[in-house]
Structure 1
Amino acid sequence: MPASPPSEQDAPPRPRLRLGIGAAVTLGLVVLSAAVGWGILRGQSTPVDAISLKGGSSTSTPADGGLYVHVLGEVEHPGLYILDADARLVDALAAAGGTREDADLQAVNLARALTDGEQIIVPARGVASDAAAGEAAESAIGADGKVDLNAATQDDLETLPRIGPALAQRILDWREKNGRFRAVDDLLAVPGIGDKLLAGMRDKVRV
């Protein structure tokens, strides 16, 4: 008498079904991870690289013409950042996660162009502004008697030969608009300063 076929209850578990469920779970996790990663990338305000300062050396290097900028003060994530060569101060603050609620944005120029190796300090309202101004004024004239063009105040600039209030203000305006002086010869870009005037004060200024 031929053996009857096994019933459905006696049949062994189907490995294909288990494999299919496992693959589906794995695929779901991959899709979820990709979705989370995409959300983080979309939420990132600027494409910059932050360099960790918590031990160990970083292998991050700036792109061609990139800038190293150190952001401190009233920002969410103070630290060292790599920005594009044409970055403005607002880009540095965005890279640092934005400013805190008590940041004094009137003390900084968000549109100012940045330079490599620059340190940016965002002060708190009514706390650090006066102290920062005092430090700048104190350090504007070095031991050699030369005026630092990047830290000089109106009064400091007026100590230079043939620099009156109007011309001193133009120097400050140029610095505010264009960022730090990189060389003494940059003074030639200030309206009213020519080769002869620059020659008369070249030995009395520095950057």
Structure 2
Amino acid sequence: MWEPKRAYVAAAALGLVLLLGWGLKHYFYRPVEVLPVAPAVEPEGRIGVTLLVHVAGAVERPGVYQLPAGSRVKDALDQAGPLPTADPHALNLAQVLVDGQKIVVPTKSSGEQGGEPRNPFMSSPTLSSGTKVNLNTASEAELQTLPGIGPTLARRIVEYRSKNGPFSSVDELAKVPGIGARRLEQLRDYICAP
């Protein structure tokens, strides 16, 4: 008779432990309402988020300008005041600015009439002046003055430089996606990597 009584006590104790464990679990592990957290970085265009952009070249007031996030190249040029000899249409005026960007406003090439858009493959301030574009210091806008280099390739060159460090030679440009040996040969006379 002693054995069954002991079994009942053990079963009751086990039941009590399980019931207590279940109660504690539900007490301490209650679902908690999770409230959405505001993002740490404010979205573009909101007041308080600013960019510093360097505007140089054919402008009345070259320098560093503070602009709200979401601003475009056109907004920076409006601040700096393009000169009458400037060719702002050589730039992508709708391009969204990034912090630390440098915008170099070129001048109109001689022989153009009425500010017609120029063909970047035919002439550019860099190509006509005889100076070479330094692959290690050129901005995306400066790279776009090179023959066959549009916004996408200019961005890839800058990204490659940011990721891998300065170009050690002009030949290293062939490692940038989209620039093969043929394009490198077309650019060789217009670029340098000191």
Same fold (TM over 0.5): no
What interval of TM-score do these two structures reach, taking the shorter chain for normalisation? 0.3 to 0.5
Question: Could you state the TM-score of these two structures normalised by the residue count of structure 2?
Answer: 0.34
Larger Rg: 2
Question: Could you state the TM-score of these two structures normalised by the residue count of structure 1?
Answer: 0.32
